[in-house]
Amino acid sequence: MRPISTRARALTAAAAVSVVAGAGAVAVTTDASAAAGCRVDYSVNQWSTGFTGNVTVTNLGDAITGGWNLTWTFAGNQTVTQAWSATVTQSGQNVTATNPSWASSLGTNGTANFGFNANYSGTNATPATFKLNNVACTGSVPTSPSTSPSTSTSPSTSPSTSPSTSPSSSPSTSPSTSTSPGVKVDNPYSGAKGYINPEWKAKADAETGGSRVSNNPTAVWLDRIAAIAGTTDSSSNGAMGVRAHLDAALAQGAGYIQFVIYNLPGRDCAALASNGELGPNDLPRYKAEYIDPIAAIQADAKYKSLRIINIVEIDSLPNLVTNTSGQAGGTAMCDTMKANGGYVQGIGYALNKLGALSNTYNYVDAAHHGWIGWDSNFGPTADIMLQAAQASGSVNNVTGFITNTANYSALQEPWVQPTTTVGGTSVRQSKWVDWNQYTDELTFAQAFRTKLVSIGFNSNIGMLIDTSRNGWGGSARPTKASTSTVVDTYVNESRIDRRIHAGNWCNQSGAGLGERPKAAPAAGIDAYVWVKPPGESDGSSSLIPNDEGKGFDRMCDPTYTGNARNGNSLSGALPNAPISGAWFSAQFQQLMANAYPAL
C-alpha cells in the first residue's frame, strides 16, 4: 500500500527469547501394552517479570481417545496466571494441562497446542521433563513398551516448525462441507460462505449498479479502539462493533468473517493518510485497550462455529525494512518503531492472543511485489515476519500471509514477466519494472510463500491476495503484447497495471474491481479476497480535519509530482477524495466500470 524503496538494507532486530524443550515418550493409558512415544516443544516469550509459554505436544504412538493431560514441574517460582486451549492448574511448582472438552483425542502423529501466561522472578528455566498421561516424553517410540518414566531430559536446540499433522505444500482444492467447532481447518475459506458486511452492502446498493457486487464478502476494518464497541460517525466502521458483526454473521449463516487488525502504535510510519490514534510508545495501550478486548469477544463460545479470520496490521513490518534511515524516503517515525520494537512486539502479542482461539486464523500483511520484490527487500522482509511470529511464542499462530492489501498491483501480467526480453533487452531494465524480480502479485505471492516456509514457517501456510481493486479492465486494458522493440515502450503498452508508477497507492485513477472472492484459486493461495472494501477511500485529496488521527498525505493529491519513492512521478490519485475509510462514490463507480472480469 505504501511507496517503495528498491535498495533497502537488511534489517536486524532483537528476537524474542525462545527456549525449546525436547521431550518424548507418551504412554497411551487406554492400552497398557501399546507402544507409545511423544515430543513436546516448549517455547517462551519473556520479559522482566513474566512470560508467555507456548506448548505443542505430538503423539508419536497409538491414538489417545480417552483424554490426555501433560504435566511438568517448574524449577523456580513461575506462576501460571492465564491459559488457553487447555485447562491449566498448578500446585506449588507442579503444573497439569488437561485437554479442552472439544479436543479430548490425540491421534497418532497428532498434535495439541496450548499456551499460558505466567509470572516469575529470578531465572526462568525450561522444565526438565514433561509427562503425557503420566509417562515421560523422550521424543521417540521405545522399542518395547514401558510404563516407567524415561530419564532423558535433554532439550532440543530448535523448535519444531511442522506441528501440523498433515502439512501440504498447497491449500486443499476440495472444499469441506462443514465446520467442526474447535478443529482448525487447513484453509478457512474452503467450503465456507463469507460474511457480507451489511454496512458496506448498504452503501454499495445505494450506488447505481452497486447491487451487482454488493453480495461479495469484504473485511471489517478495526482501525481504532472505538471500532471495537462500534461508532456512530460517518467512517467506514459505521455503528457496528465487533460483536455486532459476529452476531450478524451468525444470522447470515456465514462460515467465515474477516477482520482487519489495524491500530499499532506509531501506525503507518511512512505515510500520513492512515496514521492512527496511538503514539509510538503506546504499546501497553495497544495490548490492553485494543487487542485484549477483541480477543475476549472473539473467544465467546457463541461464535465457535464461525471461522474468524484476522488480517494483521497492514503495511507495518515491511516499513521497517524499506523506509528507515539511509533509504530513499526513510522517515524518523519508522526509525523509532524499528528501534523500540513496537511493531514486532505488538504484532507478536496480537498473534499470540488471537491465534490461541480454536476457530481463529491469522494472516499477516506482507506488502506486495512492487514494494518488496527486489532481492534487497525480499529476504529481510521474510526474516522480520519470522521475528514477529517468534515474538508470539510460536509460528503456529500464523495461518498465512496476505499481499496487495488495499493496493492495485495486477494479479497477472501475461506479457511482462521478468524473463521477457525485447530486442535482446530484459524488461527488468525498463523504467516500470526497475530491476524487480516480480511483475505481478500471483507469482510474487507464491514465491514469497516458498521463502517463508524455507526460513521456518509451517509448510501448510497459505497466501491471500487482495483483488478488490487490481482488475484494470475497461478500454485501457491491453489485449495483446506490444510490437515495439523499445523496452520501455513495450512494457508500457503491454502491462495490465496502468498506474503511472508502481509505487503509487492512493485512490488510483483508472483502477477496476479484480477477481471476485474465491477459495483456493491457485497453488499455495488460500483465497482471493476483498479486504479493502471497494468504494472506501485510501486518503483525502486535501487536508480534512478529523478526530480519527488520519492525516493528509500528498500522495493522495492528484497535483502532487511525487518523491524519490515513486520516481518523482505524478501521484495518479483521483480528486475530491474523503479521508481514508470514508465512502468515495466516484471511485466506486470507476471500479465497477473498469472491473475485470467485467460485471
Distance CA 276, CA 223 (A): 7
Tell me how far apart the terminal alpha carbons of the chain are, to the nearest angstrom: 25
With vertex at residue 285, the alpha carbon angle to CA 283 and CA 288, rounded to the nearest 5 degrees, is 110
Cα-based angle 82, 84, 88 (whole degrees, multiple of 5): 65
Q: Is 102 annotated as ligand-binding?
A: no
Q: Which distant-in-sequence residues (6+ apart) come within 8 Å of 75 by Cβ?
A: 93, 123, 125, 127, 128
Say if residue 142 is preceded by a cis peptide, omega within 30 of 0. Answer: no
Just list the catalytic residues.
Answer: 268, 315, 538
62 labelled binding-site residue? no
* Single-letter residue type at 339: A
Binding site annotation covers 505?
yes
Q: Is 526 annotated as a binding residue?
A: no
| Contact (CB, 8 A) for 395 and 160 | no
Nearest to 321 by CA among 385, 267, 271: 385
Q: What order do you get walking across the sheet with 87-91 strand by strand?
A: 87-91, 94-98, 69-73, 130-132, 135-136
CA distances to 71, 377, 548 from 87, in Å? 12, 42, 40
* Phi/psi at 362 (5° precision): -100, 125
Per-residue DSSP letter, 44: E
**Torsion on CA atoms 378, 526, 200, 554, rounded to nearest 10:** 10
CB 389 within 8 A of CB 399: no
Would the annotation count 371 as a binding residue? yes
**3-class SS at 199?**
helix
Question: Which sign does the torsion angle of CA 251, 313, 277, 50 carry?
Answer: positive
| Amino acid, single-letter form, for residue 203 | K
Q: How far apart are CA 537 and CA 535, in angstroms?
A: 6
**Distance set, CA 139 to CA 94, 152, 158, 214, 395 (Å):** 21, 9, 13, 52, 20
Contacts of 234 (CB under 8 A, 6+ apart): 582, 583
Radius of gyration over alpha carbons of the chain, in Å?
Answer: 25
> Is residue 472 annotated as involved in ligand binding?
no
Q: 243 in helix, strand or coil?
A: helix
Residue 101: DSSP 8-state: T
d(CA 103, CA 182): 7
CA–CA distance from 154 to each of 52, 94, 112, 127, 138 (Å)?
22, 19, 21, 10, 8
Find the Cα–Cα–Cα–Cα dihedral 433, 436, 437, 440, rounded to 10°: -50
Q: Is 368 annotated as a binding residue?
A: yes
Q: Report how far apart, in Å, the C-alpha atoms of 153 and of each of 55, 134, 354, 434 are.
A: 16, 15, 32, 54
215 annotated as a binding-site residue:
no
Q: Helix, strand or coil for residue 113?
A: strand
| Residues in Cβ contact with 97 at an 8 Å cutoff, skipping those fewer than 6 apart | 55, 69, 70, 71, 83, 86, 87, 88, 114, 116
Give the annotated binding-site residues for substrate. 221, 223, 368, 371, 407, 505, 532, 536
Give the annotated binding-site residues. 221, 223, 368, 371, 407, 505, 532, 536
